[in-house]
Structure 1
């Protein structure tokens, strides 16, 4: 391989690049080189040299490096870590398992134009993820870091969804999700604004679909867990009449908070007869029998 190199520009640093590209040495002898001329780098030469420009006198001279100097250079003797395992350092391995895919969910933004849609795939995935921990009061998380993540992510998503929910023509689907987020924000003690927005959004959702079991349950749950037992009960009863199991559990919670422990216990036991394999109901009965007041204060599976 032959390469022509400008005598005014080459330096000892360039020698390293020559070696890296297969140019092992520069010639040890030859004719003098005038400023601006070129030097031929020959692969067959045994000794390497670099050509430097004398910027003060305009002269060109050679600087020679013997083989030992180059052999001990750490850059020349470096190891390609992409192809070779380093001694004493374990090679990391990466594997992928339990791959999950988030289903794509799109909903109408408004009730007047069903073709104008909003992608809520990540939003729904988040709601499903933290609902077991924050849907009811008190919230229950395995660690402070999980609680912190839930708060920060909820605030971010609620802020993103809020403008769509505040539209006067917001769809039922948008309002329902906004109500869920704000209701959980209230349970996470993120501020009274979450409680107000949650009630406002779910009331509008019921206005869109008055017979919705889920909307009636959420509104009744918010009211009763916030102290409005009498007002919340009628919405919970409407959801329970449509076999909405969680509405029955919330009715039991409302009875308990209203100092009617016998009614709460009776309701839960009747519900257990309908769902004998539901471990959650069995644990809630134990909570009531133990004299406690929050049937949703349950251990969270890790």
Structure 2
């Protein structure tokens, strides 16, 4: 008995799956480019469903009876997840040193503290790469580490930017956006990162004028970008609140402004307050060696 079946276009995903399972194709007489072509198929096997690819002029069976599949290699394949293969060792997998990232929620806007944003992964990333990219020049163990940091930073900055550009953005959002864009500038991701970084941190200071961290970040951005005089004002405000890194950035500004004695004096004075800080000791060595970037430190491997 013959049955007339309307031919229709098979999706590319279905065609790929059919080819992968050894699906047989049958010639369709008279089928051209028109999608309204009709194929006549022998329907003796009532369990078989027929589909047609009108562009290729072929009919594909997408169901088979058990006799047709008994010799199919995919049907009779071995599940290697449940069976050991002869001569092939079975890998053992174990998970250790599991770390949990603490949940961090911050207000999205300054006028609605109840509307919060989860920045747990963002803060974890910032904490991870800040030692390598917070200051110029960036310092990573390898090019692959630096590439990873760049790509992830671009994605996170793109995600956070709309919240920071809101006219009512909270201090917490603006501070994080400034950190990301500042590090993006140091990683040479483009001038847009420098502009956005300065814009966001200026707005953060407008929200909290006495914030030691915000004043430090703004002063650091300005001084490391060549604005020593303007940057010093913000760094001094942060340093007056015992913000140690602001003192180090002031030394860096002195050094880049060709005032090596002032930079060395500042670092040695800071070392007396923090005698166990190995970073300060290394920075003193850098200045005494005649170099100019106190943050160009060897990273731990």
Residue 26 of structure 1 is matched in structure 2 by: none
Write the deviation string for residues 189-244 of structure 1: whole angstroms up to 9, x where unpaired: 11111111101110110010000000000000000000000100011011011110
Between Structure 1 and Structure 2, how many residues are aligned? 241
| Secondary structure class of the residue paired with 2:137 | coil
Shift of 1:301: 1.1
- Map of 1:97 onto structure 2: 96
1:127 corresponds to 2:142: no
2:266 aligns with: 267
Given the superposition, is the C-alpha separation of residues 255 and 81 from structure 1 closer, same or farther in structure 2, using an over 3 Å criterion?
same
* Distance change >3 Å, CA 11–CA 113, structure 1 → 2: closer
1:223 aligns to 2:239 (yes or no): no
* d(CA) in 2 for partners of 1:170, 1:146: 32
1:118 aligned counterpart, secondary structure: strand
Q: State how far apart, in whole Å, the 2-side matches of 1:158 and 1:190 are.
A: 12
The structural deviation recorded for 1:87 is 2.3
Q: 1:114 to 1:74 in 2, by over 3 A?
A: closer
- Taking the aligned partners of 1:8 and 1:212, their CA distance within structure 2 comes to 77
**Partners of 2:69 and 2:182 in 1: CA distance:** 66
Match of 1:116?
115
Q: Is the counterpart of residue 246 in structure 1 residue 245 in structure 2?
A: yes
Contact 2:69–2:75 (CA<8 Å) still a contact in 1? no
CA distance in 2, matches of 1:14, 1:193: 60
**Can you give the 5+ residue segments of structure 2 that lack an aligned partner in the other structure?**
1-44, 48-64
Q: How far 1:164 moved relative to its partner?
A: 0.8
Looking at structure 1, the residues matched to 266 and 74 of structure 2 have their Cα atoms a distance apart, in angstroms, of 79
The change in CA–CA distance for 1:277 and 1:80 in structure 2 (over 3 A counts) is same
Give deviations 1:39-92, integer Å, cap 9, x for gaps: xxxxxxxxxxxxxxxxxxxxxxxxxxxxxxxxxx9987x766344422221111
Inter-partner Cα distance in structure 2 for 1:283 and 1:107: 36
- RMSD between superposed Cα atoms in Å: 2.2
Please, what TM-score do these two structures have when normalized by structure 1?
Answer: 0.75
Per-residue CA distance 1:105-142 (angstroms, 9 max, x = gap): 11001110001111111111110111011000000111
| 1:168 equivalenced with 2:167 (yes/no) | yes
Give secondary structure in 1 for the equivalent of 2:152. Answer: helix
Pick closer, same or farther for the CA change 1:269–1:106 going to 2, 3 Å. same
The SS at the match of 1:203 is helix
Structure 2: distance between partners of 1:173 and 1:11: 64
How far apart are the structure 1 equivalents of 2:108 and 2:89? 52
Q: For residues 187 and 173 of structure 1, what CA distance do their matches in structure 2 show?
A: 22
